[in-house]
Structure formats: structure tokens, C-alpha cells
Amino acid sequence: MPARAASSGGPPIVVDKFGGSVLRRPDDIAAAVEVVAGQQASGLRPVVVVSAFEGVTDAILASASVLLPDAGAGLRDPRQDAASPLARETDRALATGEALSAALFALGLQARGLPARSFTGAEAGIRTAAAHLGAEVRRVAPRQLRAALAEGLVPVVAGFQGIGSHGELTTLGRGGTDLSAVVLAAALRADRCELFKDTGGIMEADPHLVPAARFLPVVDAVQLELLAELGAEVVHPVAVRRARRGRVRLVVRALDSSQPMTEVQPRTVRNAPPAGLMLAVARRDRIARISLVGPAASTPELLPIPAHGAGSFYESGMRVVWAEVPVEQAGAGAQAVHASLMAG
């Protein structure tokens, strides 16, 4: 696929998102820095977007829950008041994890001899609604990033955050660094957005539940969006939707370029291989919902497992078939569906 010209001219831009599963500790930044250095050496202009180190966000939330009324249960109310001082301070605490990662990543690049500068989400131009703990991205004005690229710098952006229309720092909700990377890639007209995961490319099912699950070199963007909405923790569903609508080329991969990677393709790609079946499992209390997503023509209308409840629906050429089982049977049920309908 030919490289997409950047809106500012010059070499193509690639946006790299490094998640917490890749950045488990500061030492892991060195491996990610080598990836960025290789991209720059090949003639690309990288823009880095980082999550907090693995476990940091959960640790901040755990600390906050000790201090908040009802362990912070009220903050999960979707009707949360944008002026809530509790939500404001929780957002500011949460954003420190990504800010730390961005500053350390920029230090790592500089130590490698690559000029770099860290940016908050606000400095990167991510503008959101006036809301806390899950704000919607309204627009992106990446002027400072373009200026940094023009100076030959590698911008390193703290993901998961932006600035609201009320002028306050906001966070984008769980998995929001995926969204940060995608909206920046769209605004910068990047050649592609690469999402780095510890597992590498996308698999047809969660390998922790279905050890026989296989990697998929290509997935359909609509199918992946549905899968994410149904509980598969692969890519943030809103990030997939924004990538699809903004025509952002998404690649999901590991740090090691020899490992399998997955390209997320819109249906407009000519001669794209037909989509296969994919499996998602969502747990809620004592019930697990197993969902199969695939083209309507090749997806059955009922899953071949005993279930407390079942159903199906059709969306954008895809059929979703689901069954609910006791949560302790989630693994066995997912493996049975895979063996019956997806193996071979």
C-alpha cells in the first residue's frame, strides 16, 4: 500500500501507540525506543502516544477509592456533573500516569540521540466535551505537534487525556490511549497508526480462554468494532469507529517485527480477503455472554452450546450470535464454539 502523504508535506507520518501491557516498567521503554528509531531511519516521521505503565492507573484508582465517598461509586454515574470537584481531582490524578510515561519515553529517545519532546493531551490539541472520567473527543488541533515535527523532533504524547471545553483536564475512559492515537493519526493525516500490544496481532478469540485461537493477518473494521463492543479487550471500540470513519490505516502488532501483525481494513479495500469468524466473551456478575461475530452468510443463527439465554442480531453485513452461560463455564463454552465452528 503506498504511503499516505502527510498534510504538512514531507516524509510520511506514523503514529505509534505503546500500551501499558508493553510498558510494564521503565526498562521496557528501551525496546520501544528502538522501534521508533528504526522507523525514523527508514524515512518515516514517528509520533508516539503512550499509556501509563502497567498497573499504574489501577493503583491510582485504588488509592482514590480509599479517600472517596462510597469508594468512588458515584463517579461511575454517566450523569456525572462536569463541575464535580471529586471528578476533577480524580482525572488529574489519573492523568499523571501517562504524563510520567511520556516524559520518560522522551528521555529515552534523547538518550538514544533522537531529539524528542513530551506533550500532554491538551498540548497535543485533543479537545473534548466538558466532562470528566470518560470525555468524548470533539476535535483535534495538533499545531504544536506539526511544529515539533517540522523541527525534526519526535513528539511523545500522553494518551488517555485532553482538555475540555470548560478549560479543564479531562480523561477519555478505559482504553482511551487507543482513541488518542487514532484521532491524532486522523488529524495529522498519518500513513498509519500502529497499536503495540504484548500479544502482537489480533486473534480470533482470547487465547487465555481458547488456547487454539489463531492470529488473523487482516480483520474487517466493522467486525472488530462489534467485537470490542461485545467485550473483547483488543482495541477500544470508539477508536475503531473513529479510524474507520477517518480512513485511518490501523495496524496491531508486537514490538518484535518478526511476530504476526494484523491490519484492520475498511470494507472499501479492493480484493480484501473475506472476513472469518471471531469470538468475544463478556463477564457480568455470575453470567458470561459468548458472542460470535462474522459475515451473515457464514455465521450460524445459534451457538452449539447449552445456554441460559441466546439471541442474534444483524448489523452492517455482520451477524452477531450470542449465548449466556454461568461465568465458570465461559472458557469451556468458548472452546466448544471454537472447536465446532472455527477450527480447521
Question: For 123-151, what is each residue's pLDDT tens digit?
Answer: 999 999 999 999 999 999 999 999 999 99
| pLDDT at residue number 267 | 64
3-state secondary structure of 257: coil
Does residue 334 have a pLDDT over 90?
yes
Does residue 227 have a pLDDT over 70?
yes
Mean pLDDT for the chain overall = 91
Mind listing the pLDDT tens digit for each residue in 264-288?
Answer: 987 655 555 667 899 999 998 899 9
For residue 231, with 0-12 CB atoms within 10 Å meaning exposed, 13-18 middle and 19 or more buried, which class applies? middle
Higher pLDDT, 270 or 117: 117
Q: Are 130 and 165 in contact (CB under 8 A)?
A: yes
| pLDDT at residue number 69 | 79
Q: How many helices (H) and strands (E) does the chain have?
A: 8, 16
Does residue 106 have a pLDDT over 50?
yes
Mind listing the pLDDT tens digit for each residue in 296-317?
Answer: 888 998 999 998 899 999 988 8
Q: CA–CA separation, 125 vs 56, rounded Å?
A: 24
Average pLDDT over residues 55-67: 90
Higher pLDDT, 10 or 113: 113
User: Which of 30-44, 58-72, 82-96 has the weakest average pLDDT?
Assistant: 58-72
Mind listing the pLDDT tens digit for each residue in 237-258?
Answer: 899 999 998 899 999 999 998 8
Does residue 78 have a pLDDT over 90?
no
3-state secondary structure of 68: coil
Q: Are 181 and 140 in contact (CB under 8 A)?
A: no
